[in-house]
Amino acid sequence: MMALCCTMMLMAAKVNKFFTINVNGKNRTYLLYVPNNVKASAPLVISLHGAGGQVTTTSHDPDFNSIADKDGFIVAYPQGLPTVFPGLGGMQAPGWTSTGEENFDTDFLKAVVEDIDAKYPLDRQRLYCCGFSNGGMMTYCMANTCSHIFAAFAAISGYPINEFHLHHTSWRPVPFLHIHGKADDFVRYALVPNVIDNMVARNGANPVPVVTTKSGKYTKNVYEAGEGGFPIIFYEIDGMGHSPFTNNTEDNSSSQTMWNFFQQYTLDAPCDTTMKWRPRIETEGYDPKSHGWTINARTTLLRFGVDQNTSDNQNVYRSLQFKTGKYKLCFHSEGEADKTIRVKIEKLTGQKNAVLSDTVAVGGDVSLPFEVNDGWGEYRITLLRDNKNDNNTVSNIGIYSLTDEESASISFPTFPTTDSTSSFDLLGRPVEGQPTHHGIYIRNGRKTVNR
């Protein structure tokens, strides 16, 4: 009996209770789970529920408590606020405003970290964020806005859709794990490859994955890290619908798989913070045309970037994105020495303007600076040859932020702008000009509210 009591005491949580903090004038709550064997400087996992989720001391998804008991880390389960989901017929339910930009929910989650750290000193190099469904959407938002705080991220059955459009302009590359059921037609499995393509190019990972398949359970795609970046891992789960958990991973637990992934990374892991986009389209075995690229079409040497098409793809598509900053486009070209390549990067959202327009000689390495000064946006890159029969090739294409030393010596040109007047309603129908009716619209890839 005494042995049983001791065992129960060891298994009991040191803390399993709610805390309330005030963030931007509003009281917000989170459930804190601290195991008995918590480490002196503990890792932290923040786990975000899906739309409609109600956190209790006995119910919270994704659930990490038993793993925390074993490995001595802290888990926080924040509670989302009532949120309107137009893509779900206007349903209002607890959830997350996963816009991809800083907002009251990103402020809340950062405040949760600080509040816990004041109670139980954290290992600030080992903070991790994950979520299910709308919580997975919010995880992508946190990866974009808080890559300087969290070391790695994971999503299950969730990525930004509809009014929550994926932004991938983070300060640094990030390790990211995505788990999705092949039978999920709610947050559609069919659109996940678009998200993965965006994250792979953002991270500079190898676009040809190492694939492991276990029949009836999963297909694991590992997009291995390139120089200066981190891997992207995508599990496709057989027989799984829209769910916060599956035992069809190599660890027989999706939560364990996420924790095993997290443990490999610390915030100070070396990476190239200047790298913003490195698609590696010349990789052997990679077919750029099947991933949104136009290649060798008449005088077009290559082109990437399309206008949004919300009616078909729930606002999920491959895109090239930048936010305010100074950048350089780099690539290597080969071909006849007397030929040229015309280079253009033009904005597709908001003020539609070219941020780069130049002509370079074929042969050797190229570095072309450009500047974005009007916030986040989506872009198209085009490289044109003199005529369709020119035998020119381009490799090692990438976009990097300029260092302070580089930008100090450069004068950036300005180009004419054209204001975009296109919006879409949440059924994907175009709305020309400024919307006049009350409601929520997608404009330039962002959720906007017309009151």
Output the six-digit token pair for 96. 């997350």
For position 431, what pLDDT does the model report? Answer: 57
Region of poorest pLDDT, from 2-6, 251-255, 395-399? 2-6
Confidence bin at 5 (pLDDT 50/70/90)? very low
What pLDDT sits at residue 3? Answer: 42
169: its two tokens:
């302009």
Instruction: Give the torsion sign (CA, 59, 86, 104, 200).
Output: positive
Is-contact 155 136, C-beta < 8 A?
yes
Burial 62-100 (b: 16+ CB within 10 A, else e): bbbbebbbebbbbbbbbbbeebebbbbeeeebbbbbbbb
Buried b (16+ CB within 10 A) or exposed e, 270-295: ebbebbbbbbbbeeeeeebeebbbbe
Integer Cα distance of 152 and 166 in angstroms: 17
Nearest C-alpha neighbor of 142 from the set 104, 95, 109:
109
**pLDDT value of residue 438:** 46
Summary mean pLDDT of the chain: 91
Res 24: pLDDT: 96
pLDDT digits (tens, 9 = 90+) for 383-434: 999 999 999 999 999 999 999 999 988 888 777 665 544 555 544 445 555 5
Give the list of residues 6+ apart from residue 410 with CB closer than 8 angstroms, or none: 326, 369, 402
Q: Could you report the per-residue pLDDT of 135-187, keeping only the tens digit for each?
A: 999 999 999 999 999 999 999 999 999 888 999 999 999 999 999 999 999 99
Percent of the chain past pLDDT 90, that is, above it, reads 80
Q: Identify the pLDDT of residue 163.
A: 86
pLDDT at 293 over 90: yes
Residue 2 confidence (pLDDT): 39
Rounded to the nearest angstrom, the gap between the alpha carbon of residue 108 and the centroid of all alpha carbons in its chain is 19
Q: In this predicted model, what pLDDT tens digit does every residue of 325-384 receive, in sequence order?
A: 999 999 999 999 899 999 999 999 888 899 999 999 999 999 999 999 999 999 999 999
- Partnered with residue 330 across adjacent β-strands are 367, 398
Residue 444 — very low, low, confident or very high, per pLDDT cuts 50/70/90? low
User: How much is the average pLDDT of 175-200?
Assistant: 98
Question: Model confidence over 85-113: pLDDT tens digits?
Answer: 887 778 899 999 999 999 999 999 999 99
Task: Tell me the per-residue pLDDT of 255-290, one tens digit each, with 9 for 90 and over.
Answer: 999 999 999 999 999 999 999 999 999 999 999 999
pLDDT of residue 8: 38
pLDDT in tens, 173-187: 999 999 999 999 999
